Structure 1
Amino acid sequence: MQESHLSAAPQRTGNVIVAVALLVLMAVGGYFRFVGQNWDDFTSLHPDERFLMQVASGIGGPTTLSYTDPAGLTQEQADQRALCYERYPATSGIGGYFDAACSPWNPQNVGFGTFVYGTLPTFSTRAVAEVIAGLSSDQSWLTFYPIHLAARLVSGISELLIILVVFSIGLRLHGKWVGLLAAALYTLTVFSIQQAHFGTSDPMANLFAALSILFAVCVQRDGKLRDYFFFGLAFGCALASRINLLPLVGLIFVASAVRLLPVFARGVAGYEREAHWTQSAVGIILAGVATLVAFRLLNPYAFNGPGIFGLTPNSAWLDEVGKARYFISGEWDAPPNWQWIARPRYLFPLWNMVAYGMGVALGITAVLSTIVALWRLVRGKPGALVNAVPLAWIVAYFGYMGLQWVMTMRYYLPLYPALVVMAAWGLA
């Protein structure tokens, strides 16, 4: 009894040290991410942010619907307006939240076409601006200036929370000290600090991508149904932020497969093997349902509506996704695409992540740690499967994005949390 009490004392001391250190990291990370939020002094220098702020200040509030053709209403748009007036005569055609054709929350209905982003970050910006406007009794927060500060606040909070998520991933994979080191590394990751100052969709997408990795790790470790459910919610929110995070879906299958491997060992009873298979199947279905619910609620105009159960795909949204793919394919001959000519695929984005996104020391450590972990996995080394989820994400997403014509650094932001965890593991 006395020996047990004595052995628990260092563990409690270690937990206190980790908790205090994590609080310090959050304070330091918060300072770096929130200082100088109005860095451009109301000049809107970030083009994507500028467009998103136009949308955020335009949705939700109009009393009439407008459309996107500068030459005037097309026949299709005229038919859409007539349909909305027929459905909602008392509100001059203004429809409910889930009605893609008539909702004032749909960017395409308030004069903003080619909206190729998820709606969750824009909705979050608008919600934060509404809260600030209500608390301050200053309705100017709902206008183009200063709604960009609300968007940057959302970005800063998202990148700050990722410090905790990175700690949790490291904790569950390799213990509290690796988790703490990973959190420290992400706190000082330059690209995270920079992106926290932009009111774009990338930081929030990064947060939910990191949460998806975390809950996939939890599935791999424990296999509880709640972990599948929370993975589905996080994945749905990630898709509602950026649709190009679809490759995250593979993590739930990787985690489930690793979880199931021990049941194939000799001597495992048939009923036990069947129970594990059933648990995984139910969990994956639950994750799928949670994903659909989150995506339906937070990116509602991927579907036609007009109610929540109107789940037919919205052709206008599919067209926008197609445009986004066209813009980054290299087939679009326009000045923004010329900068990628003669840039070597994979090597160019990798160089930018190592040299500028993380810094040379952290970048090289992350890359080498990932290579070592992959080598251990391929060789079947003991304990190598522990890193299966972050490795699967790094390989799959970098492999997918590296094939694209457009190699802008922010497209690779969702890799940083996993890379930082691998760096911490390699240093430990």
Structure 2
Amino acid sequence: MEVEKPIGAAAAPSSMKASVFGLAWKTVLMVGCVTLLGFGLRLVGITWSLPNAHHPFATYHPDELINLNAALQADIPHLKFDIGFYNYGTFYFYLVSLAETIAAGYGLLPTPQAPNAAHQAALFLVGRLVTVLMGTLTIPVIFALGKRLYGERIGWWASFFYAVAPLPVVYGHFLAVDVPANLFVALALLWSVRLAEGDSVRDGLLAGVWVGLAAATKYTAGVVVVAPLTVLFWAKSLNRLRTAGLVVLGALLAFFFGCPGPLVNWNAFWNGLPGYPGSGVYYELFVHSRQGHGLLFVRTGPGWWYHLVISFPWGLGIPLYAAALWGVVVAWRRRTMGDKLLLLFTGLYFLIIGFSAVRFARYTLPLFIPLTVLAARGLEAVWQKNSAGGRLRQGLFVMVALLTLLLSLGWVRRMIAPTPQDRAADYLWRVLPPGASVAFATIPWFYSPPLSPLFGLPSPVQRAKAAVEDTRFQLRIPSEEWDPSVLSPPPDAVVFSNVETMHPLRLGLPSARRFLADIPPDYRRVRFGSGPPWGAPPWQTIVPDDFLYVCPKITVCIAPKYEPTP
């Protein structure tokens, strides 16, 4: 099978002959600059919400503590691979565990003491740096993918778009599997294109290895196996069945290498841990996706529509999303081999995630790889008739890139500013005397001011114990969400966040409305948090939780006898 000749491809002049990895120095420099830009966007704000004396156990991202604990269960030097937690593939956790071991060996981690917020913060930081590195490495891989399909210019712009896209940037800060899995998805797509150019044994095995590691990091990322197998199905080579077998073999070997759970602890892998009903592959893939996630996605329409009107506009930014949609149209019209390959993976993965009742924006991240390539491909196809068209295309590229970059800078700015949770806690500690009563609408968690260290624990039962164990304030924590009894007698302060109120108020939950109405009307409302940056979808009342983690709004209703301003 022949791959389409890259758009605008031309022989390099003698002064710019290939020098590194078959690329001219100028190209290497440009890709290096884009990669450094992406690295900087992911590194700035890396200390966002790390544990401190007030919340020593966890960050303000609800999954990070669970993921850290999973990684700490592994011990790579002593060949302990069974971590007991298999909601996700374990390969990323192994990498984090190995990084923690190396950091400890070089004395980069503070000596653990209980409780020791500095040690806990260092553990989170090491895990986040693994994410930063893997997210950054994805950028040059996308360049290589775009270059092989459509030429260096499109490859460069595609890598730039991915480097500055808001969701990969924001989620590139967290100790979570989603961004790391994208590295292997991108490599699998790249090696699928290599297979189209010649189905060698090495490329077949490597394509399978990247597929297996993608699935071993996040199970659903294994859908990318469709790319190399489809390319081989389209191929005319007599060896395509042999190469397809090598792809499958490489995928299986890499999966069991990165996630040996089925081999070392089948019961925990499939059924989860005893006493932890929300664990295991069966729950994660077949129960959670059917039951949904509390009120978060109730009455939000079909999953495909939700991602189209909420996840993508927030995750890509409106200009880049528009360019990606246009790129899909261009690819559908031209349908070269590369177009069909990217459209096939995009369509299949989008179809699968749309069936799920759980619709976090981060679930769309694997689609950002083909969409950023197609966005560049679509912009390159605009008005190619004359030189004026060239200037128009260049202007469109620059406009989309700068607007997307500015949006991501807005998100990063929120990650380097003091968090609304900490600001609200500082205000309450300053204004209220010891023994004052503070009421909550729900059991406090990552979205609440850290008035107790217990608020960072994953179990709601453990967090609720703060009502009797905290000594600074009298904490009124409801046994059920929106229980108005915590408002009687009137407390000195009432605290709630838009993370708690967004979906109950969207659904018109009577208990939520009644609770908010029962707050004494003469209480002053002091708000902390600036919300999403300029450029985020202005028409949306739903902010994806993936972004809301870094821009919550905390409301403190304070009795009139206390200081009115923060």
Q: TM-score normalised to the size of structure 1?
A: 0.76
User: CA, structure 1 residues 337+368, in 2 after alignment: closer, same or farther (shift >3 Å)?
Assistant: farther
Aligned residue number for residue 249 of structure 2: 289
Determine the structure 1 residue equivalent to 2:322: 364
Query: Corresponding residue for 2:105?
Result: 134
Q: Does the CA-based 8 Å contact 2:70-2:83 persist in structure 1?
A: yes
Alignment partner, residue 395 of structure 1: 347
Say yes or no: does 1:29 pair with 2:38.
Answer: yes
Aligned residues: 347
Residue aligning to 2:507: none
Give the Cα–Cα distance (whole angstroms) in 1 for the partners of residues 147 and 310 of structure 2. 28
Question: How far apart are the structure 2 equivalents of 1:318 and 1:56?
Answer: 19
Q: Deviations over 1:210-256 (max 9, x none)?
A: 11111111111232222111111111111111111232221122111
Q: Residue 74 of structure 2: which of 49, 53, 59 is its match?
A: 59
Q: 2:294 aligns with which of 330, 333, 337?
A: 337
| TM-aligned CA deviation for residue 353 of structure 1 | 3.7
Q: Say if 2:371 is the partner of 1:419.
A: yes
How far, CA to CA, are the matches of 1:409 and 1:207 in structure 2? 18
Whether the aligned pair in 2 keeps the contact of 1:141 and 1:147 (CA below 8 Å) is: no
* Residue 27 of structure 2: aligned partner: 18
Q: Distance in 2 between matches of 1:38 and 1:235?
A: 32
Distance across 2 between alignment mates of 1:386 and 1:193: 26
SS at match of 1:45: coil
Report the AA paired with residue 132 of structure 1: A
The Cα shift of 1:148 comes to 1.0
C-alpha distance in 2, partners of 1:179/1:171? 4
Match of 1:256 among 205, 215, 232: 232
1:44–1:6 distance in 2 versus 1, CA, 3 Å: closer
CA distance in 2, matches of 1:353, 1:137: 38
The equivalent position to 1:224 in structure 2, one of 192, 200, 218, is 200
Matches within 5 A, 1:35-184: 35-42=44-51, 43-60=58-75, 97=79, 104-108=80-84, 115-136=86-107, 138=109, 140=111, 144-184=120-160
Q: Which residue does 2:437 correspond to in 1?
A: none
* Counterparts of residues 241-320 of structure 1 (less than 5 Å): 241-260=217-236, 276-277=237-238, 279-304=239-264, 314-319=266-271, 320=280
- Give CA deviations for 1:82-141 in whole Å, capped at 9, x if unaligned: xxxxxxxxxxxxxx84xxxxxx43222xxxx5x311111111101111111112264648
The AA in structure 1 aligned to 2:14 is A
Post-superposition CA distance 1:282-340 (Å, at most 9, x none): 111111221121112211112148xxxxxxxx2431222111124433336xxx33211
Q: Secondary structure at the match of 1:330?
A: helix
Percent identity over paired residues? 23
- Seen in structure 2, the aligned counterparts of structure 1 residues 8 and 245 have a Cα distance that, compared at 3 Å, is same
Pairing of 1:341-356 with structure 2 (within 5 A): 341-345=298-302, 346-356=304-314
Partners of 1:52 and 1:426 lie apart in 2 by: 38
Moved more, 134-143 or 217-226: 134-143
CA contact (8 A) 1:151 1:199 kept: yes
Q: CA deviation at 1:45?
A: 1.1
Cα distance change, pair 282–370 in 1 and its aligned pair in 2 (3 A):
same
For the 8 Å contact 2:50–2:121, the answer to whether it is kept is no
Closer/same/farther in 2, CA of residues 280 and 53 from structure 1, 3 Å limit = same
Measure how far apart 1:61 and its partner are.
9.0
Change (3 A) 1:295 1:354: closer
CA distance in 1, matches of 2:112, 2:156: 37
Letter in 1 for 2:332: L
Amino acid at match of 2:156: L
Matched, 1:8 2:17: no
Once residues 283 and 186 of structure 1 are traced to their aligned partners in structure 2, the CA distance between those partners, rounded to angstroms, is 31
Unmatched 5+ residue regions in structure 2?
A: 1-10, 52-57, 114-118, 272-279, 381-566
Tell me how far apart the structure 1 counterparts of residues 101 and 139 of structure 2 sit (CA, whole Å): 27
C-alpha contact (below 8 Å) 2:185/2:221 kept by paired residues = yes
Show structure 1 runs of 5+ residues with no match: 63-95, 98-103, 261-275, 306-313, 378-383
Whole-angstrom CA distance in 1 between matches of 2:339 and 2:123: 41
**Per-residue CA distance 1:323-367 (angstroms, 9 max, x = gap):** 1124433336xxx33211111221211223432111111111112
Q: Which amino acid letter does the alignment assign opposite residue 243 of structure 1?
A: Y
Matches of 1:159 and 1:31, distance apart in 2? 11
Q: Which residue of 1 aligns with 2:431?
A: none
CA contact 2:147–2:154 (8 Å) conserved in 1: yes
Contact 1:221 1:259 in 2 (8 A): no
Distance 1:144 1:61, change over 3 A: farther
Q: Counting helix residues as a fraction of each chain, which structure ranks higher?
A: 1
TM value normalised by structure 2: 0.58
Q: Match for 1:210: what amino acid?
A: A
**Does 2:189 align with 1:213?**
yes
Work out whether residues 125 and 147 of structure 1, in 8 Å CA contact, stay in contact via their aligned partners in 2: no
Measure, in 2, the Cα distance between the counterparts of 1:7 and 1:420. 28
- Cα 1:404–1:137, aligned 2, differ >3 Å: closer, same or farther? closer
Distance 1:12 1:243, change over 3 A: closer
2:211 is aligned to 235
Alpha-carbon distance between aligned partners in 2 of 1:218 and 1:145, rounded to the nearest angstrom:
42
Supply the distance in 2 between the matched residues of 1:349 and 1:132 (Cα, whole angstroms): 39
Q: Does 1:405 align with 2:357?
A: yes
Task: Measure how far apart 1:171 and its partner are.
Answer: 0.8
Q: Which amino acid aligns with 1:32?
A: L
